[in-house]
């Protein structure tokens, strides 16, 4: 019974050593708490200040977790901060993913082993430029659901999820021998319209129930009175977030209005900023980040650098802002560690600042990984989406008079093909319209296999099409990522309102939910070889080719020292689409819009034991066609390009100041 002995021992010793009150409990017990009398944290009774950096395990392959964490430690950080994206772990109601790249417990353990503390942000809403701010799309099955509120169906789903995730986190709390020192509840709730204190009270109760009374729970809001008043709650320690432009004194005075005593904390100090397709890549100068970091630390404040390592929105995980603008695949964020984990100038500049305030570990910093230019890989057309429907949608279509949304056909990500027939002859150009901006988010339109053009949310709502009565009208609709911030996070995908042809509502739809992942991953053998057919219908003068899959491969011969290495894939002449290598969904490419031109390819998905298979789903216009002998190719290069010049003019673009202020 060491427990009993330990208690007797500590009771005997405590008065002699004149320990602080917390030590009376158990001399060997670990504690992490707020010292309200001296405006600081106490860790095991000792004054403590964290200098933390954000890294999201969902944006870095597990293969590289240790490398990135070690680099963060060597920068002098004593803590890391991560979000837990609910939708990453519960893709379908009640079906959970916690292994491999989803193994959040292992990630936290790894940080622990490297001597890093962890600031956990388990949501349930996280924003994060992540699809729907981390909320699972299936919540939208109840059409009237009010997210982030006391809506009973929302709370029931949250309750169930917290009952899964928080018990996993409990043994990892600092008090229980793990690295988690503090836990954030919700995220920037003061910026959301609902303003429902009962929801926050519900969360507080559940967090306490699962995590106990000892852990420090906190909230984070933009450093303005308005946000803190709406986002804070008695019992949750209020912290602020701000970037380089802010008046630090004023920002912390704002926190002081909510928390007159206790540590000053900037939970998100921005090292860079997010991107959108079609807008210039965001950067923040290293010296500005450095001087603001210096000032924050000189204030005696705790700080988390958001992001320290941004990473990648692989597959379909990017979010979007409104008026609709999707974030690209790269989440480089202009952070001190690049998307590929490389040490940047900002890394070393910030390390020097940290060194002025605390000891920074001695010894070698893990170097940036080598990158390899594997060169050009020829691709051939495998099949159009239309020709591959039996592989992409083996169960066949859902029939409906009017269009159904993605959620209504239980498709959460990727693509759905909507098919009907033309009720009338359109021998002259006839307007196909989504009068209520109801194409979420982009539709690639064809009639009898002839591409007609594109409808785009907040962009193009009408398109003139041509075809005979009875011809097949196909719209391949792409979900480009759900809105992650603001009122419109309840972002349904697909055709969310009726389409009209020359003002009459189109009816009689066959709706094909496409399981692209299964088709390119497990069922490649079923594709029946290349589509050798001559696509005679496609006009070579057209700006569009039918959405189609292209395939190619490249070998990395074994025995070449140090191969495979990381690389970047670029898309000369390609327009927009999705790319997989060996079945791993790398994300979206859109060089026609930029600013991102290359996608990061981590080496662990490459192999020397067989040819590496590249599959491209080009949605808009391939650089080659069947009646054109020049092959299509992608190219593997050794440098990323994520900041190409962009010329695209979004029809309705919010002012950049309001983006920065997080107010729109």
Please identify which of the residues 129, 186, 259, 268 carries the catalytic annotation: 268
Q: What is the rounded CA–CA span in Å between residue 207 and residue 166?
A: 7
Q: What is the rounded CA–CA span in Å between residue 11 and residue 31?
A: 17
Q: What is the rounded CA–CA span in Å between residue 447 and residue 661?
A: 45
Applying CB under 6 A, the span of 16-24, 328-336, 423-431, 458-466 interacting with ligand NAG comes to 423-431
Applying CB under 6 A, the span of 50-58, 248-256, 466-474, 616-624 interacting with ligand NAG comes to 248-256
Q: What is the rounded CA–CA span in Å between residue 276 and residue 480?
A: 12
588 with 329: CB under 8 angstroms?
A: yes
Q: Which of 400, 472, 542, 607 binds ligand NAG (CB under 6 A)?
A: 542
Which 600-629 residues touch ligand NAG, going by CB under 6 A? 611
Q: What is the rounded CA–CA span in Å between residue 333 and residue 306?
A: 9
Please identify which of the residues 129, 186, 188, 456 carries the catalytic annotation: 188
Applying CB under 6 A, the span of 215-223, 224-232, 407-415, 489-497 interacting with ligand NAG comes to 489-497
Applying CB under 6 A, the span of 308-316, 329-337, 497-505, 583-591 interacting with ligand NAG comes to 497-505
Beta-sheet strand order (sheet of 32-35):
32-35, 40-43, 46-48
Applying CB under 6 A, the span of 25-33, 212-220, 224-232, 354-362 interacting with ligand NAG comes to 25-33
188 catalytic? Reply is yes
Applying CB under 6 A, the span of 213-221, 237-245, 246-254, 527-535 interacting with ligand NAG comes to 246-254
> Could you tell me how many residues of this chain bind ligand NAG (CB under 6 A)?
30
141 catalytic? Reply is no
Which residues neighbour 8 within 8 Å (Cβ) at sequence distance 6 or greater?
none
Q: Which of 250, 298, 469, 530 binds ligand NAG (CB under 6 A)?
A: 250
Q: How far is the CB of 352 from ligand NAG (least distance, A)?
A: 25
Q: How far is the CB of 649 from ligand NAG (least distance, A)?
A: 13
73 with 101: CB under 8 angstroms?
A: no
Q: Which of 97, 424, 533, 656 binds ligand NAG (CB under 6 A)?
A: 424
Q: How far is the CB of 190 from ligand NAG (least distance, A)?
A: 16
29 makes contact with ligand NAG (CB under 6 A): yes
Instruction: Give the contact letters, 377-396, x = binds to ligand NAG (CB under 6 A), - = no.
Output: -x------------------
Q: What is the rounded CA–CA span in Å between residue 541 and residue 21?
A: 80
Q: Which of 172, 389, 393, 426 binds ligand NAG (CB under 6 A)?
A: 426
Q: How far is the CB of 450 from ligand NAG (least distance, A)?
A: 12
Token duo for residue 524: 């490649």
Pick the closest to residue 454 from 474, 483, 482 (CA basis): 474
Applying CB under 6 A, the span of 51-59, 67-75, 350-358, 541-549 interacting with ligand NAG comes to 541-549
253 makes contact with ligand NAG (CB under 6 A): yes
* 185-to-226, 236, 239, 260, 417 alpha-carbon distances in Å: 18, 8, 11, 20, 39
DSSP bridge pairs for 504: 501
Q: Which of 540, 541, 609, 649 binds ligand NAG (CB under 6 A)?
A: 541
Q: Which is nearer to ligand NAG, 94 or 298 (CB)?
A: 298
Q: How far is the CB of 189 from ligand NAG (least distance, A)?
A: 14
46 makes contact with ligand NAG (CB under 6 A): no
319 with 485: CB under 8 angstroms?
A: yes
Which residues neighbour 633 within 8 Å (Cβ) at sequence distance 6 or greater?
376, 377, 378, 379, 552, 572, 623
553 makes contact with ligand NAG (CB under 6 A): yes
Q: Which is nearer to ligand NAG, 94 or 152 (CB)?
A: 152
* 125-to-56, 184, 243, 274 alpha-carbon distances in Å: 14, 11, 21, 18
Q: How far is the CB of 70 from ligand NAG (least distance, A)?
A: 27
Q: Which of 543, 558, 608, 627 binds ligand NAG (CB under 6 A)?
A: 543
423 makes contact with ligand NAG (CB under 6 A): no
- In the DSSP assignment, the letter for residue 436 is T
Beta-strand ranges (E) seen in 96-179 are 117-121
6 makes contact with ligand NAG (CB under 6 A): yes
466 makes contact with ligand NAG (CB under 6 A): no
194 with 226: CB under 8 angstroms?
A: no
User: What is the helix (H) or strand (E) element at residue 242, kind and residue range?
Assistant: strand 237-242
Q: Which of 195, 360, 398, 505 binds ligand NAG (CB under 6 A)?
A: 505
Q: Determine the angle formed by the axes of helices 197-211 and 152-169, rounding to 10 degrees.
A: 30
Alpha helix segments (H runs only) across 18-96: 21-25, 65-74, 86-89
146 makes contact with ligand NAG (CB under 6 A): yes
Which residues neighbour 336 within 8 Å (Cβ) at sequence distance 6 or greater?
53, 75, 271, 305, 308, 309, 343, 344, 346, 347, 350
By CB under 6 A, name the binding residues for ligand NAG: 3, 6-7, 26, 28-29, 146, 247, 249-250, 253, 378, 402, 424, 426, 428, 430, 487, 490, 492, 497-498, 502, 505, 541-543, 552-553, 611
Catalytic residue IDs: 188, 268
């Amino acid at each position: 019974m060491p427990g009993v002995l330990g208690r007797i021992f500590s009771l005997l010793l405590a008065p002699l050593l004149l320990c602080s009150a917390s030590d009376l409990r158990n001399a060997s017990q670990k504690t992490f708490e707020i010292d309200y009398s001296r405006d600081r944290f106490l860790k095991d009774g000792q004054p403590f200040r964290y200098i933390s950096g954000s890294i999201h395990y969902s944006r870095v392959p597990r293969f590289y977790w240790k490398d990135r964490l070690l680099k963060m430690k060597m920068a002098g950080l004593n803590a890391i901060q991560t979000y837990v994206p609910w939708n990453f772990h519960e893709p379908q109601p009640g079906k959970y993913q916690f292994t491999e790249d989803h193994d959040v417990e292992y990630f936290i353990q790894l940080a622990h082993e490297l001597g890093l503390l962890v600031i956990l942000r388990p949501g349930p809403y996280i924003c994060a430029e992540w699809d729907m701010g981390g909320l699972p799309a299936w919540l939208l099955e109840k059409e009237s659901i009010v997210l982030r509120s006391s809506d009973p169906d929302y709370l029931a789903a949250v309750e169930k999820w917290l009952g899964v995730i928080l018990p996993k986190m409990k043994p990892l709390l600092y008090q229980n021998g793990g690295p988690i020192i503090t836990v954030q509840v919700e995220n920037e709730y003061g910026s959301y319209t609902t303003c429902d204190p009962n929801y926050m009270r519900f969360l507080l109760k559940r967090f306490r129930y699962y995590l106990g009374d000892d852990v420090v729970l906190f909230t984070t809001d933009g450093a303005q009175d308005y946000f803190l008043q709406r986002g804070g709650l008695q019992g949750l320690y209020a912290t602020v977030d701000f970037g380089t432009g802010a008046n630090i004194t004023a920002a912390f005075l704002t926190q002081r209005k909510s928390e007159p005593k206790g540590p000053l904390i900037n939970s998100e100090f921005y090292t860079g900023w997010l991107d959108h397709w079609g807008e210039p890549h965001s950067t923040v100068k290293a010296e500005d980040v450095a001087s603001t970091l210096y000032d924050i630390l000189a204030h005696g404040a705790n700080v988390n650098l958001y992001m320290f390592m941004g990473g990648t929105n692989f597959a379909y995980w990017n979010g979007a802002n409104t008026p609709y603008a999707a974030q690209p695949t790269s989440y480089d964020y202009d952070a001190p560690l690049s998307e590929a984990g490389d040490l940047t100038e900002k890394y070393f500049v910030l390390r020097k600042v940290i060194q002025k305030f605390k000891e920074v570990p001695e010894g070698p910093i893990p170097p940036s990984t080598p990158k390899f230019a594997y060169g050009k890989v020829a691709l051939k057309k495998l099949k159009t989406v239309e020709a591959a429907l039996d592989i992409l949608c083996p169960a066949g279509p859902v029939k409906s008079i009017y269009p159904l949304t993605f959620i209504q056909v239980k498709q959460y990500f990727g693509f759905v093909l909507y098919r009907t027939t033309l009720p009338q002859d359109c021998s002259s150009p006839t307007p196909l319209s989504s009068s209520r901006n109801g194409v979420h988010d982009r539709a690639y339109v064809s009639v009898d296999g002839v591409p007609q053009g594109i409808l785009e949310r907040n962009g193009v709502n009408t398109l003139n099409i041509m075809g005979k009565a009875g011809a097949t009208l196909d719209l391949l609709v792409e979900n480009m990522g759900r809105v992650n911030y603001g009122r419109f996070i309840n972002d349904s995908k697909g055709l969310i309102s009726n389409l009209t042809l020359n003002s009459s509502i189109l009816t009689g739809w066959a709706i094909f939910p496409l399981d692209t992942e299964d088709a390119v991953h497990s069922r490649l053998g079923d594709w029946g070889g290349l589509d050798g057919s001559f696509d005679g219908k496609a006009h070579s003068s057209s700006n569009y080719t039918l959405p189609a899959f292209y395939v190619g491969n490249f070998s990395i011969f074994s025995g070449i020292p140090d191969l495979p290495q990381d690389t970047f894939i670029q898309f000369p002449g390609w327009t927009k689409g999705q790319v997989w290598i060996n079945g791993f969904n790398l994300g979206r490419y859109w060089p026609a819009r930029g600013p991102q031109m290359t996608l990061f390819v981590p080496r662990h998905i490459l192999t020397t034991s067989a040819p590496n298979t590249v599959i491209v789903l080009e949605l808009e216009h391939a650089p080659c066609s069947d009646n054109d002998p020049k092959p299509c190719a992608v190219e593997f290069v050794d440098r990323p390009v994520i900041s190409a010049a962009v010329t695209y003019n979004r029809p309705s673009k919010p002012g950049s100041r309001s983006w920065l202020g997080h107010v729109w």
